Amino acid sequence: MADVAARAGVSLGTVSRALRGLDGVSPGTRDRIREVAAELDYVVNPEAAALAGRSTGRVAVVLHDLPSWYGSSVVLGLERVLRPAGLDLLVRCVDDPEDRVRFFASMPLRRKVDAVVVVAIALTSAEVAKLHDGGVAVVAAGSHSPDVPFVAIDDVLAAQQAVNHLLQLGHRRIALLNTVAATDRAWQAQRDREQGFRLAMEMAGIPVDEELVVSWSGGSRGGAQGMDRLLSGRRLPSAVFAFSDEVALGAMRSLRRAGIGVPRQISVLSIDDHPLAELTDLTTVAQDPVALGRAAAEQVLDLLHGRPVREVGPFPTRLVVRGTTAPPLE
């Protein structure tokens, strides 16, 4: 197989997929590999192929923020489907750019798992190819990646639902507290939610005050830091749209310490419907990451059993109005 790969100018994994008739190889490349194999009289060894293709009974879950409610909830949904199916989960956290590069460079998952589920991580084409070359099935949960089945909400729409609620209440000076993941390209949600924020403001004919758009790389628990930056500005917003409930809770802590009433002086809302959202009466756009994890697990089982992968549309979100939003003060 190494001789075939060298002469065809492709990887061993590509040769393996082409000769086994698996997806992920272009028709031209597949034909070239078969021609080279015929020229070299290459024949697959059935016993070796069976050994290499033996199921491990394990699925890797790769994410960058395991302590977050969202990440742990997706893992819970995965576990509820995969464990009864006889599959164990191996969790790997890649929480900085260097760790992510090392992970995909060394490919510790090769021959050790049957599938990989990436949670809120947008894989590059090279990373997808690396996983496929290792004979590993790949599913994305909470993000979109090239040539990979995925399950996710429409983050642009969720942000629009949130901002439109504030606009309908009469708010015009609306701030965005957005979090930027430490890992490169990790969160599509951070870009999509900002896009939804800007689209809602544009459709309402209201220019965005860039001083009210605050981003930081401290993760989802940096809402207090972001709110402190807004409070240091020349003019306060009348409302704040936060990336997540965890960010919103941090923001409300800063507002409380500054003696600013919520929602009397500043309204706050976010996305998630974290368990603490109900306890703190936080207005939010709800999603269900446990159900999302379950759907991603079903896609994994489809791949491992050779079934057509069920397509899942955008997971639903809904506005839940509670006590942290109100019309602005005159």
Total of domains in the chain = 3
The pLDDT, as a whole number, for residue 187 is 65
pLDDT greater than 60 at residue 185: no
In-domain check, residue 25: yes
Secondary structure (3-state) at 195: helix
Contact 319, 161 (CB under 8 A): yes
Q: What is the DSSP string of 284-297?
A: EEE--HHHHHHHHH
Say if residue 14 is in the same domain as residue 78: no
**What is the pLDDT averaged over residues 251-263?**
96
Report the pLDDT value the prediction gives residue 196, as an integer from 0 to 100.
97
Q: Is 214 within a domain? A: yes
> Rounded CA gap, 60 and 168, in Å?
44
Residues 67 and 184 grouped into a single domain: no
Output the pTM of the full model. 0.79
- 175 and 67 together in one domain: no
Whether residues 145 and 161 fall in one domain: no
User: Does 328 fall in a domain?
Assistant: no
**Same-domain pairing of 199 and 85:** no
Note whether 4 and 35 are same-domain residues: yes
Output the average pLDDT for the chain: 88
Looking at the fold, whether 147 and 172 belong to one and the same domain comes out as no
Split at pLDDT 50, 70, 90, the class of 186 is very low
**Same-domain pairing of 168 and 126:** no
Tell me which residue range forms the domain holding 15.
1-43
**Does residue 268 contact residue 325 with C-beta atoms inside 8 Å?**
yes
Residue 270 and residue 298 share a domain: no
- 224 lies in a domain? yes
Residues 120 and 132 in one domain: yes
* Residue at 323 is within a domain: no
> Mind listing the pLDDT tens digit for each residue in 87-131?
999 998 887 777 777 777 665 555 688 999 999 888 888 888 888
Shared domain for 106 and 24, answered yes or no, is: no
Give the Cα separation of 289 and 312 in Å (integer): 14
CATH code for the domain of 22 = 1.10.260.40
In a domain, 310, yes or no: no
Query: What percentage of residues in the chain have a pLDDT greater than 90?
Result: 58
